[in-house]
Structure 1
Amino acid sequence: MQHQAKKRYGQNFLRDKNLLKKIVNQSHILNKDVIEVGPGQGALTSFLAEQAHQLTCFEIDTSLKSILDPIEEQYDNLEIIYKDFMTADLTDLGDDLHVVANVPYYITTPIIFKLIETPQIKTASLMIQKEVCERLIAKPGTKAYNNLSVVMAYHAHVYKMMDVKRHMFVPQPNVDSAVIRIEKRDKALLDPKAEKIFISIVRTAFKQKRKTLVNNWFEAYQIPKEDIINFLKSFDINENIRAEKIAIEQFMKLAGAWTYDI
Structure 2
Amino acid sequence: MRPAWPPPTPKRRPSPRATEATPWTAPLLEHAQRVTAIERDPALAAALAGRMERAERLDVRIGDALAFDFIELAGTGRLRLVGNLPYNISTPLLFHLIDQRGALADMHFMLQREVVERLAAAPGSKVYGRLSVMAQAYCQTAALFRVAPGAFRPPPAVDSAVVRVTPRAQPLIEPALQARFAAIVAAAFQARRKTLRNTLRAQLDGEAIAAAGLDPGARPEQLAATDFAALARRAGP
How many percent of aligned residue pairs carry the same amino acid?
Answer: 30
Q: 2:215: which partner in 1?
A: 238
Instruction: Please state if 1:251 is matched with 2:228.
Output: yes
Q: Does structure 2 retain, via aligned residues, the 8 Å contact 1:155–1:185?
A: yes
Counterpart residue type for residue 89 of structure 2? I
SS in 1 for 2:233: helix
The separation in 2 between residues aligned to 1:121 and 1:111, in whole angstroms, is 14
The separation in 2 between residues aligned to 1:116 and 1:54, in whole angstroms, is 23
Counterpart residue type for residue 105 of structure 2? K
Q: 1:16: which partner in 2?
A: 5
After superposition, give the CA deviation of every residue in 1:24-79 in whole Å (9 maximum; x if it has no partner).
Answer: x49x782321111121xxxx311101111210001112343565233346332111
2:18 corresponds to which of 28, 34, 38: 34
Q: Does structure 2 retain, via aligned residues, the 8 Å contact 1:72–1:80?
A: no
2:114 corresponds to which of 131, 142, 149: 131
Q: 1:77: which partner in 2?
A: 57
Q: 1:173: which partner in 2?
A: 156
Q: Does structure 1 retain, via aligned residues, the 8 Å contact 2:45–2:61?
A: no
Q: 1:52: which partner in 2?
A: 32
The separation in 2 between residues aligned to 1:228 and 1:29, in whole angstroms, is 53
The separation in 2 between residues aligned to 1:198 and 1:182, in whole angstroms, is 20
How many equivalent residue pairs? 234
Q: 2:123: which partner in 1?
A: 140
Q: 2:92: which partner in 1?
A: 110
* Bigger Cα Rg: 1
SS in 1 for 2:209: helix
Q: Does structure 1 retain, via aligned residues, the 8 Å contact 2:19–2:79?
A: yes
Runs of 4 or more consecutive aligned structure 1 residues displaced over 4 Å after TM superposition:
none
Cα drift, residue 236 of structure 1: 4.5
After superposition, give the CA deviation of every residue in 1:177-202 in whole Å (9 maximum; x if it has no partner).
Answer: 00000010123333222222222211
Instruction: Please state if 1:198 is matched with 2:181.
Output: yes
Pick closer, same or farther for the CA change 1:151–1:65 going to 2, 3 Å: closer
Task: Structure 2 unaligned segments of length 5 or more: list them.
Answer: none
Instruction: Please state if 1:96 is matched with 2:78.
Output: yes
Counterpart residue type for residue 144 of structure 1? V
The separation in 1 between residues aligned to 2:206 and 2:46, in whole angstroms, is 62
Compute the TM-score of the two structures, normalised by the length of structure 1: 0.82
Q: 1:68: which partner in 2?
A: 48
Pick closer, same or farther for the CA change 1:152–1:60 going to 2, 3 Å: same
Counterpart residue type for residue 106 of structure 1? N
Q: Does structure 1 retain, via aligned residues, the 8 Å contact 2:105–2:167?
A: yes
Cα drift, residue 211 of structure 1: 1.7
